[in-house]
Amino acid sequence: MPGLAPLAFLNPWLLVALIGLPALWFLLRVTPPAPRSQRFPAIRLLLGLEPPEQTPARTPWWLLLLRLLAAALLILGLAGPVLHPAGQLGGSGPLVLAIDDGWAAGKDWDARVQQAQALIDRAERENRRVRILTTAQARSDAPQTASDLIRPDAARELIRAIQPKPWPVDYAAAAEVANGLQVTGSAHVVWLSDGLAADGARALAVQLQRLGRLEVLRPQTGRTALTVLPPESTGTTVEVPLRRADGAGQPRYTAVAYDTRGRLVGTAEARFEEGSTQTTARFELPLELRNRIAQVAVEGESHAGAVALLDSRWQRRPVGMVSATPLADAQPLLSELYYLDRALKPYAEVSRGSLDELLQADVAVIALPDRGALPSNQRRRVADWIEAGGVILRFAGPRLADDLTLDGTGGSDADGRDAHSDAATETAAAVTMLETASSTRFVRSTSTPSATKVTRRGIVTVSLPVTSAFTSKAAKSLAGTSPTKNEDSLVAGPAFSPWATATVTLFALVEPPLLALPRISMPVAVSVKPMSVRVMFAGFCTGWSDRGRLRARTRRSPSGAV
């Protein structure tokens, strides 16, 4: 089959018939055209008239040309012209198509299908079978396989049925499948690549090359997939990093943020510099809107890589800090809240005010610095607020310890019950609970007065006078625990201080009314060190089951008090 560059013929020997065209031309010139029939009333006047010269009747030249052209086109058509034949398939065996159908292929999937169809057309012309191998797993539980040797029309239907998967390709598994392929003769192998490098690509290429001539088709420059990385929430904006594989291509993209119901929350422009492969889309939105973002997608990119899902980690909760005294405000560096403020600022909206103001305001967490015991009326309101779903983060310090030492009862006057009676039992229970929660063993000391109070409302207050050995160990263990381990508890403390005692105060949220309230999902472990505050956030929000577990634990331990 002679292959002219853009055109080839399936039956080139039919072109010999073109030689017959001059003969046809001669014949057409000799035969006069059929006379046109014309009705004419005044024929009597025409009868007997003869044209002066009897020249041979000629076919008009355009008619002659048209007939020759028709004959020539007929011959060319029968010869079976093929536009852009793109050469011949190599080898003598089947056509093996390796198709990347991972997430990165989603962007140009239609073009890829067309390429595959064109290859199958070629295979059909050469009467070859086709074998199709996809590189991404079809299902998580099914092993990867290649198709049988199938006829081209069946292959065409199979190609139409393949959809790009929302997960990455698995070249190692595909290489194993390719290793198991047996072909008669040498195959023509075409790898429709998604254009992104991945582990095992070389191994797969080697395995494919084993079957025959390997041809790798990549997407055009600038047509590789774009990915959206998990966003970063800074103080005022949500920044979504975008990455692409090559520096060329479309420079401008639009990132769109949706909420959990798929409603549009906001859009942001992202612009790639010429030649650069990364950029950032910045959403500058009010806090309420920012907290509603559940999904960030790039407009015009239809694959799974261009969508990032956001959960509560990216939500900024309003946190109120009870400012201690006017004096502390005047000396910000000496303020107890200084490090807390610095630690919380990247992750939460921090506001300051008196405890009463903060209880009125709509905040999720109130951070209470070392202020000693609360007056009973404030105590009751704080308890109500916690019951309604609030979280109190309370820090212990010398003032609280002083208050506890002075009256010896802590804040136990709420129920009018003397805490001394079963202090030992409750302390032991609370410490056990703390140990379970933080996977730490504490050193117990019963020599100093201690007070534990578990109110009926579910607020656990543990005041533990502890030795310095306990404090350092607890602090170390708390600081060293990975955030995921105590994700179901809210632990404040222990405050390591150079002076004598430290107190661990724990407010746990254990009561069912929470179920009806908005999710409080800021499980936090705070360890306070002398000069720095480290706040570790647990990976994910607390599930209901976790909270239930905590409740069960709490109920089990101090049975007499609850």
Partner 1 sequence: MAQGVHGRRRVGLGETFWQYRDYEPGDPPTSIDWRQTAKSDRVFVRQMEWEAAQSVWCWRDASASMDWRSHNRLPRKRERAELLLLALMILMTRAGEHVTLLGTGMTPSAGRGMLGRFTELLTQEQADRAASLPPMEPLPRSAQVLLLGDFLSPLEEIEKTLRGFAERGVSGHLVQVLAPAEETLPYHGRVRFEGLEGERTWLLSRAEGVRDDYRRRLRAQEDGIAAIARRTGWQCTWHRTDRPPQTALLAVYGALSRQA
Query: Which residues here bind partner 1, judged by CB under 8 A?
Result: 32-47, 49-55, 57
Cβ 31 to partner 1 shortest distance, Å: 12
Collapse the DSSP code of 443 into the 3-class scheme (helix H, G, I; strand E, B; otherwise coil) and give the result.
Answer: coil
Q: How many residues does the chain have?
A: 562
At which residue do the structure tokens 């392929």 appear?
Answer: 181
Cβ 154 to partner 1 shortest distance, Å: 57
Cβ 68 to partner 1 shortest distance, Å: 20
Cβ 53 to partner 1 shortest distance, Å: 7
Among residues 103, 517, 22, 168, the alpha carbon closest in space to that of 301 is found at 103
Contact between residue 149 and residue 177 where contact means Cβ atoms under 8 Å apart: no
- Cβ distance to partner 1 smaller for residue 41 or 498: 41
Cβ 61 to partner 1 shortest distance, Å: 13
Structural tokens at position 423:
């202090």
H or E element, residue 269: strand 264-271
β-partners of residue 191 are: 98, 216
C-alpha 2: how far from its chain's center? 51
DSSP annotation string for 330-368: HSGGG-THHHHHHHHTTTEEEEEE-HHHHHHS--SEEEE
At which residue do the structure tokens 């109110």 appear?
Answer: 455
- Cβ distance to partner 1 smaller for residue 34 or 333: 34
Cβ 22 to partner 1 shortest distance, Å: 25
- Cβ distance to partner 1 smaller for residue 53 or 141: 53
- Cβ distance to partner 1 smaller for residue 37 or 127: 37
- Residue at 217: amino acid letter: L
- Cβ distance to partner 1 smaller for residue 28 or 72: 28
- Cβ distance to partner 1 smaller for residue 57 or 361: 57
Burial of 364 (0-12, 13-18, 19+ CB in 10 A): buried
Among residues 325, 265, 259, the alpha carbon closest in space to that of 294 is found at 259
Cβ 67 to partner 1 shortest distance, Å: 17
- Cβ distance to partner 1 smaller for residue 42 or 516: 42
How many beta carbons lie within 10 A of that of residue 444, not counting itself?
14
Straight-line distance from the first to the last Cα atom of the chain, in angstroms, rounded to the nearest whole number: 94
- Cβ distance to partner 1 smaller for residue 35 or 262: 35
Cβ 24 to partner 1 shortest distance, Å: 21
- Residue 468, C-beta contacts closer than 8 angstroms, at least 6 positions apart: none
